């Protein structure tokens, strides 16, 4: 894929999700990374709202925290 000019990112999704307290936050990590790393056509607030309504209620808080993680560390 790199030969075709694609950018590849390696993200330890499970580790980052566990940093916010639960492996259930993996979706929030991925959606947050997608929103932050790419010139994504949907704004951050809309993506965060999508996370809030898409994950099970018990996982909303952790996914919101995961969405906001700094992926550059």
CA pair distance 72, 70, nearest whole angstrom = 5
Number of domains in the chain: 1
Is residue 37 domain-resident?
yes
pTM of this prediction? Answer: 0.78
Q: How far is CA 49 from CA 1, 3, 57, in A?
A: 31, 35, 13
Is residue 72 domain-resident?
no
Q: What is the pLDDT along the chain (73 residues), one digit of tens a residue?
A: 667 888 888 899 999 999 999 999 999 999 999 888 777 888 889 999 999 999 999 999 999 999 988 765 4
Side-chain half-sphere exposure of 7, counting CA atoms within 13 A: 6
Q: Which domain holds residue 48?
A: 2-67
Is residue 73 domain-resident?
no
């Amino acid at each position: 894929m790199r030969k075709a000019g694609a950018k590849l990112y390696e993200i330890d999704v499970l580790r980052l999700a566990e940093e916010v307290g639960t492996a259930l936050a993996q979706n929030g990590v991925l959606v947050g990374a997608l929103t932050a790393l790419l010139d994504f056509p949907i704004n951050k607030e809309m993506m965060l709202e999508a996370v809030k309504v898409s994950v099970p209620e018990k996982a909303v808080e952790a996914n919101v925290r995961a969405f906001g993680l700094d992926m550059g560390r």
